[in-house]
Amino acid sequence: MDVNAAVAAVAAIAGVLTGVIAVLAFRWSEREQKRPTRTSLHTDPVLPPGVDTVLSVLRSSAVVLDESDAVVKASSAAYALGLVRGGKLAVEPMILMARDTRRDGEIRQVELDLPRRGTGRGEALAVSARVAPLGSRLVLLLVEDLTEARRIEAVRRDFVANVSHELKTPVGALSLLSEAVMGASEDPEAVERFAGRMQIEATRLTNLVQELIDLSRVQNDDPLEDAEPVRVDELVAEAIDRCRHQAGTKQITMAAGGTADLRLWGNRGQLAAALGNLVENAVNYSPARTRVGIAARRVTAPGGDLIEIAVTDQGIGISEKDKERVFERFYRVDPARSRATGGTGLGLAIVKHVAASHSGEVTVWSSEGQGSTFTLRLPEAVAARDRASGDRTPGLDEGDEAGQTDGTTTVSSPYEPFSAPEVHP
């Protein structure tokens, strides 16, 4: 009987232990199921409702970080800018901002210059970063690319500075000359001399203002709104007539050839201004008793036939370092010589914009001491008109501030020699 009681006691104790172990195992299993796994951290939705949709339509690059600085959500723009690499935020200052915001809940904003990925040059990527808390655990980082805005601002600032300087010079000269005229009122010869100088400065000021107006017009207007077939020989004749006096003073011979039966499609006034500027520059920068040639021809291109108009001179030429900059506003290869010839530094900028707005380009070949060849390539009238009727999208590239297009100014080989009758001034 004692043996049976002992067996029963042992069985009871074993049952109790089994029950306790089963309860503990069950609770441990529940706890393990509730604990987030590494996979569930990336698959379970952790963003507040609607946030994912909002981030997808933002123009700024967006990154959401959790309490361990891991990336929970990042837009494609954030990857494109190189902010997120390997699933982690790669910009240390932004990580520090996120930690500070997570600690005190304050919104922070800073502008940074980041190294640009994929370039061997020291170009910087200018960004504006803003960090704000998103719920109790997350922080939101919004990054806006300011690189293009800064470039546009630099262009605008330089343009204003150059305009101010160019206007100040003739205005200051006129002021001094007027004082000189007043002081020399008893000397007719001095008055006449000073008055002549005043006329020169007034003409320079008038030309500058007019070219600023022309530049603004070609940047803002659509030349194809008033487009028409324009005869090349008429444009050449007008350009030659415009420079006839200057060429005659310097005994420069002008020659034209190959312009018969060629027509362009575009704004006649703008095309005449562009070609006139090229011919005028050729005359102004050529030594006395030299030759300026104007030639035109039709060339075949994949998008339709083009008309090439080349202006060749025997002037001072352009160095390699200046070739890519001669089409910039107010840029002068030789500032002293430009002022002596009355140039404003805007002529070639106008040529560049006219070419771009007519779906063409302007190129330059030059050798120091041997001369230069500027070539306008523009669509022929029939081809350009057909293309315009199918797709009216010519003009300057979108996003280019004030018409500053990239790729319309290139360096090419010199124009082929031509035989043309000489046109004497």
Question: What amino acid is encoded at 404 in this protein?
Answer: Q
**24: in domain:** no
Cα distance between residue 270 and residue 238, in whole Å: 13
Range of the domain at 185: 147-220
Higher pLDDT: 95 or 209? It is 95
Please compute the mean of the pLDDT values over residues 239-257 and round it to a whole number: 90
Q: How confident is the model at residue 372 (pLDDT cuts 50, 70, 90)?
A: very high
Q: Which of 60, 97, 111, 66 is nearest to 81 (CA)?
A: 60
Inter-residue contact 371 to 122 (CB < 8 Å) = no
* Whether residues 348 and 388 fall in one domain: yes
Q: Lowest-confidence range among 140-149, 274-283, 381-390? A: 381-390
Q: Which of 171, 17, 137 is nearest to 67 (CA)?
A: 137
Give me the pLDDT at residue 350, please.
Answer: 86
**CA quadruple 88, 92, 98, 102: dihedral sign:** positive
Contacts of 36 by beta carbon, 8 Å cutoff, 6+ apart = 44
Query: Residue 390 sits in a domain of what CATH number?
Result: 3.30.565.10
* Whether residues 203 and 337 fall in one domain: no
Q: How far is CA 190 from CA 196, 198, 372, in A?
A: 10, 12, 41
* Whether residues 141 and 152 fall in one domain: no
* Whether residues 205 and 231 fall in one domain: no
Cα distance between residue 198 and residue 385, in whole Å: 47
Q: How far is CA 57 from CA 45, 200, 214, 380, in A?
A: 19, 58, 40, 43
Give me the pLDDT at residue 421, please.
Answer: 40
* Whether residues 174 and 202 fall in one domain: yes
Domain endpoint, select from 220, 236, 264: 220
Cα distance between residue 364 and residue 349, in whole Å: 13
* Whether residues 158 and 228 fall in one domain: no
- Count CB neighbours of 158 within 10 A: 13
Give the alpha-carbon dihedral of 58, 63, 66, 68, to 10 degrees. Answer: -170
Rounded to an integer, what is the distance from CA 225 to the centroid of its chain?
A: 25
129 pairs with which residues across the strands? 110, 143
**35: in domain:** no
What's the whole-number average pLDDT of the chain? 76
Give me the pLDDT at residue 310, please.
Answer: 94
**19: in domain:** no
pLDDT in tens, 4-61: 666 566 566 766 666 656 656 556 655 655 554 443 334 444 667 767 777 776 778 8
* Whether residues 111 and 181 fall in one domain: no
**11: in domain:** no
Higher pLDDT: 101 or 3? It is 101
pLDDT in tens, 315-331: 888 888 787 778 877 77
* Whether residues 89 and 107 fall in one domain: yes
Domain endpoint, select from 199, 220, 241: 220
Query: Residue 75 sits in a domain of what CATH number?
Result: 3.30.450.20
* Whether residues 230 and 336 fall in one domain: yes
* Whether residues 124 and 174 fall in one domain: no
Cα distance between residue 82 and residue 123, in whole Å: 14
**29: in domain:** no
Domain endpoint, select from 145, 168, 201: 145
**398: in domain:** yes
Cα distance between residue 182 and residue 33, in whole Å: 100
Q: Lowest-confidence range among 106-115, 310-319, 391-400? A: 391-400
| Coil/strand/helix, residue 292 | strand
**156: in domain:** yes
* Whether residues 369 and 257 fall in one domain: yes
Inter-residue contact 419 to 256 (CB < 8 Å) = no
The answer to whether residue 238 scores a pLDDT higher than 90 is yes
**197: in domain:** yes
Based on the structure, what is the number of domains in the chain?
3
Ramachandran angles phi, psi of 411, nearest 5°: -115, 125
Q: Which helix (H) or strand (E) holds 207?
A: helix 188-220
* Whether residues 326 and 269 fall in one domain: yes
Cα distance between residue 329 and residue 404, in whole Å: 10
The answer to whether residue 393 scores a pLDDT higher than 60 is no
